[in-house]
Amino acid sequence: MERRWNEKLVQLRDLEVQLETLKQAQYAPALSAADRARLMTLGKDLTKAWNSPGASIETRKKIIRLFVEEIIVDVVGNTLALIIHWQGGDHTQLTVKKNKIGQTRWTVEADVLDLIRVLARQLSDTAIAAILNRSGKLTAHGASWTRSNVCSLRNTNGIPVYREGERAERAEVTLDEAADILKVSRTTAYRMVSSGTLPARQLCGGAPWIMRLADLQRDAVCREADARRSRRPISRDPQQNRLPL
């Protein structure tokens, strides 16, 4: 009986301590304008510390622990419902989309993936890497492209590698191949593309110009090629100093 009575006394004392703590917190003085201004200044310094090039991952973890007490995450369909409990009692509710299976923050931009998907039907991985680098595109890690990067990205996304002769099977030709077929120089073929006489498409700067074989057989294209050939200057034989026969 005496033991139970002592336990009750201990519980009563604990409750009295908790009540006194709550009273002190209730009547705690509010922040003055000067104190608030000082705290806001410290917040700016914290931002500088977080974004400092010398801040390590461990340093940022310590900064987070100063302000965050715990984060509760609940899966709701295709989203994550988060409740952030801050030090001091406040909390923030957030909702974010779940990553797809196999997706991480190291994900290449969608436009780059679409570009590789189309270029893979025209060029080898080495040529694709060169085009991406000339266009200023970066990998998911912010690095330059290599043949291995392109190959890895294709395999991850189920994009088949370019097969020799694949473009010819689709009746498509490059600018150089079009120039050979029309019997004009590459520069002349490019001028025909620029003027709109010869339909062609280019996915991005540095990518090859691709045109359909059927377009090379159009009357307007053939007439333009014949006209441009006829306007070529007559070359002289430098040894005989006479017009070639």
- Strand 210-212 relative to strand 172-174: parallel, antiparallel, unpaired? antiparallel
Give dist(CA 150, CA 129) in Å, integer. 6
Q: Dump pLDDT digits (tens) for 96-134.
A: 877 665 555 556 777 788 888 888 988 889 989 998 898
Q: Dump pLDDT digits (tens) for 45-101.
A: 777 777 878 888 888 888 888 888 888 888 888 788 888 988 878 889 888 877 665
> Who wins on pLDDT, 238 or 105?
105
Identity at 80, one-letter amino acid code: L
| Residue 241's pLDDT band (cuts 50, 70, 90) | very low
Residue 73, strand partner residues = 82
Nearest Cα to Cα of residue 161 among 173, 171, 151: 151
Q: Answer yes or no: pTM beyond 0.75.
A: no
2 three-class SS? helix
Give dist(CA 85, CA 69) in Å, integer. 6
Q: Dump pLDDT digits (tens) for 178-237.
A: 999 999 999 999 999 999 999 998 877 778 888 999 999 999 999 999 998 887 643 434
